[in-house]
Each structure stands twice: as structure tokens, then as C-alpha cells.
Amino acid sequence: MPKRDSAPYGSRPEPVIGLAGGETRWPGRRKGSDIRKAEIMQALTSSGTLRIGSSDLEYRMIGPAPADAPTIIMLHEGLGSAALWGDFPDRLAEATAAGVLVYSRAGYGASTPVTLPRPLDYMHIEALKILPELLDAIGFRRGILLGHSDGASIAAIYAGGAGDHRVRGVAMIAPHFVVEDVGIRSIVETRKAYESAGLRSKLERWHRDVDNTFYGWNDAWLDPEFRNWDISEYLAYIRVPVAIVQGADDQYGTIRQIEIAQEECYCPVDVTIVPNAGHSPHREAPEATLGSITEFVKRILVLHEGSEHRAA
């Protein structure tokens, strides 16, 4: 299938019209991004909270600080949190020698809850308003975005919408670019499990306000208007290498998501299909997933950047 549109280098999508409320949000860096970074950077410890807007976001920083090495920014899934990544960030930091920052978005983990219902363009808001502020706050200099599910979609929107030269690559685990029937069916089943089959008690371990977390995500995806959600236009504006890792048995998305990336992206797209894994291959097949992402990170941050430096 041919690409739908031609995307000249350096151009960006039109303003994003929010699916709910008609609010217009321009892709790109946040307003006031000319403020000196030294004035907005927040001191990083191994764990703590970052004040971003009106929210306190919990985080963990593993390995070297952004000033000392490339940083991998990890963006969790729709029911995830900083803690729910488990030891995967630690293993990734050890394997790549990069710093790794994991954080819980507002409404998740121990971060500030959000007002419900969430606007249906919540991933655009996270990508184009919150994430730029967070990257500036930590003194991000260069590195890779690594997202899972909702987090992968947020990474794609940012990479395609912000034009941030500091981002050298984007790794996505089980990304969504459009809404599929199989995903909606699984989200309906997840709601049943939450309300009557014990999922709520399992999630309470990871989230301070578990109902705020669950319904903020579930209600948005099950809203009939959310069927119109489509971020594929951002893929054509990504100007750095992309890696996609997807479980062969992903219950929330089909191979169509990967096909969309291959059709829309003008950048290289590496694809790894992990056998015997579902929507969370980093938990279900951690060795294969870690190996794939580590190879991508090393190639981008070590081999590619190293050759650029030698050529200079």
C-alpha cells in the first residue's frame, strides 16, 4: 500500500484538534521553550518526584545522569507505572551503559491523580505538552524514547510532532497508531476482569489511586468517539530510526500496526516479532525483548554516533 501523503523534510502535521472539546494543540516544543534550561532543570536523584505543570510525577533514574551519557526515556503502558517495568530498566541500563529514566505519568503509580474523564486526546497532551517539559526539567541532552503501548504512541507523536534533535531513535513495544476491533474487544474484557475478576486488587499494588488509573484509561478507549483516534500522520515526520517489538500473540493489536509504520515512515523501521508473547513481551519474553532493544540502542548511540564523531 503506498504512502498516503508526501511529507517534505522539516514540515510538521497541521494543528491537532482535540477529539473532545475542540481544543487546538500545536505539535512542537512547549510554549516558552526559549527559557534557559538552567532555570528549569530539576536536580535528579536515584528516585523522587518531578514537578511538571500542576502534577508531581514519580521517577527513577538508573545509571549516569543526562549530563554525563545518553538517556533512554521509558514511557509506560495504559495501566503501567514506573514500578511496573520491574527490573527491565535496570537490565537495559546495564546492557547499554546509557542512563535510563522511568516515570509515572499523572494518574499512574504514586504520581498526582488526574481529573476524570480524561480528554480523548490525552496522548497528544502527554506527548506535546507534558513530555517536552519533563525532558527540559531533567536536562535531557540526547538519547532514545522507549514506549510500551500507550507509551509507544506518545513516543511516536512526540518524535513526529516536536522535531527534537536530541531524540536519536524511537523504540516502540506493542504500539498503537489506529484503533482496531481486536483491541477494543480486549479492553472490554479487561474492564470485566477489573470489576469482577480480581484485576483491581492486582493493580492496587502499583497505583495509589487505582480507580483513577483504570477508568482514566479504560473509559477513554471505550468512548465511541475514540474510534476516530489515528496518529499515523505523525509517523511520516519521524526523522530518526525506529524499532518496533511486538508479541506474536498480542491481544490488543495486530500486525496491521506494524504495517502502518512501514507504510508511513520515511525513516528505517526495524521490526522484531517475539514468539509466544502477547502485549507485554518485555515481561513475557524479557531476554528476546532486551536483546532486540539493546542492539538497537547500541547501534544508534554507539556505532552511529561514534562514526559521526570520527568523521568530524
The model's pLDDT over 75-93, given as tens digits with 9 standing for 90+, comes to: 999 999 999 999 999 999 9
Which DSSP symbol is given to 85? G
Tell me the average pLDDT across 198-205.
Answer: 97
- Is the pLDDT score of 1 beyond 50? no
Question: What pLDDT score was predicted for residue 6?
Answer: 40
Which DSSP symbol is given to 5? S
Question: What pLDDT score was predicted for residue 12?
Answer: 53
Question: What pLDDT score was predicted for residue 43?
Answer: 78
- Is the pLDDT score of 21 beyond 50? no
Which DSSP symbol is given to 230? B
Q: How far apart are CA 86 and CA 99, in angstroms?
A: 16
- pLDDT tens-digit series, residues 256-311: 999 999 999 999 999 999 999 999 999 999 999 999 999 999 999 876 555 444 33
Per residue in 270-296, is it b (16+ CB within 10 Å) or e — as a string? eebbbeebbbbbbbebbebbbebbbeb
Spatial strand order in the sheet of 269-274: 47-52, 55-62, 99-103, 71-75, 143-148, 167-173, 242-247, 269-274
Q: How far apart are CA 177 and CA 170, in angstroms?
A: 14
Task: Please list, in sequence order, all residues whose beta carbon lies within 8 angstroms of the beta carbon of residue 51, skipping any fewer than 6 positions away.
Answer: 42, 57, 137
Question: What pLDDT score was predicted for residue 38?
Answer: 46
Confidence band (pLDDT; 50, 70, 90) for 168? very high
- pLDDT tens-digit series, residues 178-191: 999 999 999 999 99
User: Is the peptide bond between 117 and the residue preceding it cis, with omega within 30 degrees of 0?
Assistant: yes
- Is the pLDDT score of 34 beyond 70? no
Angle between helical axes of 286-298 and 88-96 (0-180°, round to 10):
40
pTM, full prediction: 0.88
Q: Are 227 and 234 spatial neighbours (Cβ–Cβ below 8 Å)?
A: no
The single residue listed with the C-alpha cell 509515572 is 104
Q: How far is CA 282 from CA 87, 173, 239, in A?
A: 10, 8, 26
